[in-house]
Amino acid sequence: MAGALMIIVFFVLMFLGIPIAYSLGLSALFYMLVFVDVPSIIIVQQILAGVDKFTLMAIPFFIIAGSLMEFGGISHRIVRFSKSVVGPLPGGLGIVTVVSSMIFAAMTGAGAATTAAVGSMMIPAMRDSGYDEGFACSLQASAGIMGPLIPPSILMVLYGVTAGVSVGDMLLAGLVPGIFAGLLLIIVVIAISMKKNYKGDGKFSLVDIIQSFIDSIWAILAPVIILGGIYSGIFTPTEAAGVTCFYSLLVGLFIYREIKLQDVGQVMFKSFKLAAGIMLIVGTTQAFGWVLSKERIPQLVATWFASLTGDPIIFMIAVCIMLLVAGCFIDAVPALLVLAPILVPAAMKFNINPIHFGVVMVFTLCIGLVTPPVGINIFVASSVSRVPVHRIFPKLCPFIAVLLTGMFCVMFFPQLSLFLVTLNK
C-alpha cells in the first residue's frame, strides 16, 4: 500500500510539471517521512550510491564527445560522405539522413544529439531540394532513434548497470537491431520518395566518393576505434568513452581545425549541463528504486505477470505495450531506470534472456522519442528546422509503423540481438 501511494505521488508530481528528477526524489522522501522510521539522510546516501559507479562515467564522456563532434566538423564530413555514396538514389537526401544518423549514432549514443547534429544540415538540404518540410523533420526525428540503439548507447549502459548485466554485451547486442531499424527506414524513404517523386541528388562519381572518404576518414575512424577497442578487450566501455572524447577534441582542434581553443569551454559547459541532468535522474531513481525494493514491488509485479500468463511471448507483448504508453509521457532515460528494476525480475521468471529483454526495452522506449506528446526528437527536429510541430506529427505515421514492425521482429527473433553476443563469447 505504501509503495503504491509513493508511485501515485510520483505521477501526480510529474503531471504537475515538476521535473522528473525532483518527482522521483520527492516521492521517495514522502515515503521515508510518512511510512518508515528511518533517517531521511538515507535518500541522499541512495542518490550518491546511484551515481557512484565507474561504468556510469561513460555517459558524460559520450555526451561531451557528441558535442565536440558536432562543433568540430565531424558530423558535416559524415553527411558529405554519405551523400556521395547514396545521394543519387531515389529519395537520396532522405537516405543520406538515415545513413548519416547511423554513423553519427555509432559515436555519440544519444538520440537528441544525433537528431540535432545531422538534422541541422539535412533538414534544410531536403527542404531546398523540394522535400516536404514535415516529411524531412519526421524522417530526421525517426532516424535519430538510432542514437540510443547502435552502440555506443547511453540507454544500453544504463540498462546494463541497472539490470546487472555486461555493458559490453548490451552494446554489442544493439548493433544488429540498430542497423535493421535503419534499413527499414531506408525502405520507407525509397517507397515514399518514389510516390512523391523525390529524386536523387547528383550523380554517382567514384572520384567524389574517394575524395569525400579521404576527407572524412578521421570521422569514420571514430566508431572503429570505439567499437574495436571495446570488443577487442583493449578498453572498457567507460575507457572507450574517455578515448572518444580525447580523439574528438584532437580531430576538431588540430586536424579539421573547426573548434577554436576558446570554444572548448563553451562546448564543455553545454555538455556538463546535459550530463548533470541525466546523472541527477540516475541518482534519484536509485532512491526511488530502493523504496520499490523495500516494498517488494518488483517481486509482486513478477508474480502478477506470472499469474496472468505462462507464455513469455504474451508477457513480452504486454511489456512492449506498457513501454510504448510510458514512452509517450516519460523520457526514455527515467522510464528505463524506473521500469527496468521492476520488469527484469519478471522477465527472469519467464526465462527470458536479460540481454535480449534489455534490447527490446531500449528499442521500444526509443520509439517514444518520436511519439507525441513528449517525443524529444520531434521537438529537437522542430527547433533546428523552425518547422512547427503540428506540421511534423501527421508525417510520423509511416515511420512509427515501420519502427514498431522492427521492434516486434526483434522481440520475436531473439537472435537478432543475441547473435553477435554469442559469437563474441
Tens digit of each residue's pLDDT (9 = 90 or more) over 163-179: 888 888 888 888 889 88
Dihedral in degrees, nearest 10, Cα atoms 193, 198, 203, 208 = -80
Question: Which pLDDT band holds residue 299 (cuts at 50, 70, 90)?
Answer: low
Of the listed ranges 101-105, 143-147, 264-268, 370-374, the least confidently predicted one is: 370-374
Q: How far is CA 374 from the centre of its chain?
A: 15
Give yes or no for a contact between 124 and 96, defined as CB atoms under 8 angstroms apart: no
Give yes or no for a contact between 150 and 372, defined as CB atoms under 8 angstroms apart: no
Statement: residue 149 has pLDDT above 70: yes
DSSP secondary structure code for residue 255 in this structure: I
In 295-361, the DSSP E strands lie at: none
Question: Which pLDDT band holds residue 360 (cuts at 50, 70, 90)?
Answer: very high
Question: Which pLDDT band holds residue 302 (cuts at 50, 70, 90)?
Answer: low
Per-residue pLDDT, averaged over 129-141, amounts to 87
Statement: residue 355 has pLDDT above 90: yes
Rg (CA), the chain: 21
Dihedral in degrees, nearest 10, Cα atoms 223, 224, 229, 232 = 130
pTM equals: 0.79
**Tell me, what amino acid is at 127?**
R
* Residues 6 or more apart whose Cβ sits within 8 Å of residue 66: 107, 108, 109, 110, 113, 117, 271
pLDDT digits (tens, 9 = 90+) for 52-102: 777 677 778 777 877 777 777 777 787 778 778 777 777 788 888 888 888
Per-residue pLDDT, averaged over 335-355, amounts to 86
Element (H, E) at 231: helix 206-231
Per-residue pLDDT, averaged over 152-161, amounts to 83
Tally DSSP H helices, then E strands, for the chain.
23, 0
Q: How far is CA 379 from the centre of its chain?
A: 15
Burial class, 219, CB count within 10 angstroms (exposed 0-12 / middle 13-18 / buried 19+): buried
Rounded to whole angstroms, the Cα distance separating 376 from 102 reads 18
Q: What is the pLDDT of residue 298?
A: 63
Cell 515514399 sits on residue: 192
Whole-Å CA distances, 376 to 115, 216, 328, 367, 387:
10, 29, 10, 11, 15
Q: What is the pLDDT of residue 304?
A: 72
Count CA within 13 A, CB hemisphere, residue 330: 25
Give yes or no for a contact between 156 and 366, defined as CB atoms under 8 angstroms apart: no
Q: What is the pLDDT of residue 408?
A: 92
Q: Where is pLDDT greater, at 126 or 231?
A: 126
Q: Where is pLDDT greater, at 336 or 355?
A: 355
Statement: residue 371 has pLDDT above 70: yes
Q: What is the pLDDT of residue 363?
A: 92
* Residues 6 or more apart whose Cβ sits within 8 Å of residue 27: 6, 7, 9, 10, 13, 288
